[in-house]
């Protein structure tokens, strides 16, 4: 029986990808580096720090990784605060409220920084539903490494067999697989070049999920 649902955030709860993409492109332009769409897609699910560690090595960037991260974060925050047409993904709030009201523990396992998670959670008043928030910035390796999901299960005091992960990225699905946690791949209209072939189940709308169905999953 499932006791804890671990949600990814970007692309699952809210589609901040266009804001991240804008911020990254502005920064790439300022750094004078050419990041292909395929390379950019391969970063999905990685923490900002890990992305810039890879870019620093690939393009021999002289800037400090922490400074690169801070610049990108400021670009994101400015764009996020000015973007009025930013909404929760269709059906996700209904699912979150249904699970929470019926006693399912909800945990966030996102590669985003804590300050970004808090910014989004405050904007949409989501703190009330989640018992724990796990940020990828606390781990040396990003998804597909399983650390973030293993820690989410540990702090929720739930055996991995009694957890599920909801993910929208290749790296996130692989991280759930590596953690031995049942994974639901969310293949939304916003998903680009992501592989859900190793997910245990794939949905394209949150209306396909509910408390009774999730609770009965055998991990």
For residue range 116-150, what is the model confidence (pLDDT) as tens digits? 899 999 999 999 999 999 999 899 898 999 999 99
Give the model's confidence band at 45: pLDDT under 50 very low, under 70 low, under 90 confident, else very high: confident
CA–CA separation, 4 vs 160, rounded Å?
9
The predicted pLDDT at position 216 comes to 94
H or E element, residue 167: strand 163-167
Calculate what percentage of the chain has a pLDDT beyond 70: 100
Cα–Cα distance measured from residue 198 to residue 173, given in angstroms and rounded to the nearest whole number: 7
C-beta of residue 157 within 8 angstroms of C-beta of residue 139: no
pLDDT for 151 beyond 90: yes
pLDDT band at residue 8 under the 50/70/90 scheme: very high
The reported pLDDT for the residue numbered 192 is 79
CA–CA distance, 212 with 208 (Å, rounded to integer): 11
Contact at 8 Å (CB) between 140 and 130? no
CA-CA distances (angstroms) from residue 106 to 102, 160, 173, 208, 219?
11, 14, 18, 18, 17
> Alpha-carbon distance 16 to 202, whole Å?
21
**Mean pLDDT of the residues in the chain:** 94
**Residue partners of 160: CB distance under 8 A and separation at least 6:** 150, 153, 179, 180, 181, 219
Instruction: Report the relative pairing of strands 132-135 and 105-110 from DSSP bridges.
Output: parallel
Is the Cβ–Cβ distance between 92 and 116 less than 8 Å?
no
Distance between CA 109 and CA 92 in Å, rounded?
A: 16
Residue 219 has pLDDT above 80, yes or no: no
Asked if pLDDT for residue 42 goes beyond 70, the answer is yes
Which pLDDT score, from 0 to 100, does residue 155 have?
Answer: 98
- pLDDT tens profile 49-88: 999 999 999 999 999 999 999 999 999 989 888 888 888 9
pLDDT tens sequence across 168-181 = 999 999 999 999 99
Q: Are 158 and 3 in contact (CB under 8 A)?
A: yes
Instruction: Say whether pLDDT at 18 is over 90.
Output: no
Q: Which helix (H) or strand (E) holds 95?
A: helix 92-101
Give pTM, 2 decimals: 0.83
| Residue 180 phi, psi dihedral angles, 5° rounding | 75, 30
pLDDT at residue 211 in the model? 97
Banded model confidence at residue 188, pLDDT cuts 50, 70, 90: confident
Query: Considering the chain, what percentage of its residues have pLDDT values greater than 90?
Result: 79
């Amino acid at each position: 029986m499932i006791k804890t649902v671990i949600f990814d955030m970007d692309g699952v709860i809210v589609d901040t990808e266009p804001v991240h993409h804008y911020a990254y492109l502005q920064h790439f332009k300022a750094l004078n580096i050419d990041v292909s769409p395929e390379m950019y897609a391969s970063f999905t699910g990685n923490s900002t720090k890990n992305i810039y560690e890879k870019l620093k090595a690939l393009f021999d960037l002289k800037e400090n990784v922490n400074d690169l991260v801070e610049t990108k974060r400021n670009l994101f925050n400015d764009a996020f605060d000015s973007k009025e047409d930013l909404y929760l993904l269709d059906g996700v709030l209904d699912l979150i409220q249904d699970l929470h009201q019926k006693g399912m523990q909800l945990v966030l396992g996102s590669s985003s920084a804590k300050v970004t998670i808090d910014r989004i959670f405050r904007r949409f008043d989501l703190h009330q539903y989640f018992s724990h928030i796990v940020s990828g910035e606390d781990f040396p390796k990003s998804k597909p490494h399983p650390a973030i999901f293993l820690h989410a299960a540990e702090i929720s005091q739930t055996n991995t067999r009694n957890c599920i992960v909801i993910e929208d990225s290749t790296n996130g699905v692989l991280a759930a697989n590596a953690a031995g946690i049942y994974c639901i791949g969310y293949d939304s209209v916003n998903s680009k070049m992501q592989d859900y072939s190793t997910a245990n189940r794939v949905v394209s709308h949150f209306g396909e999920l509910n408390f009774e169905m999730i609770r009965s999953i055998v991990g």
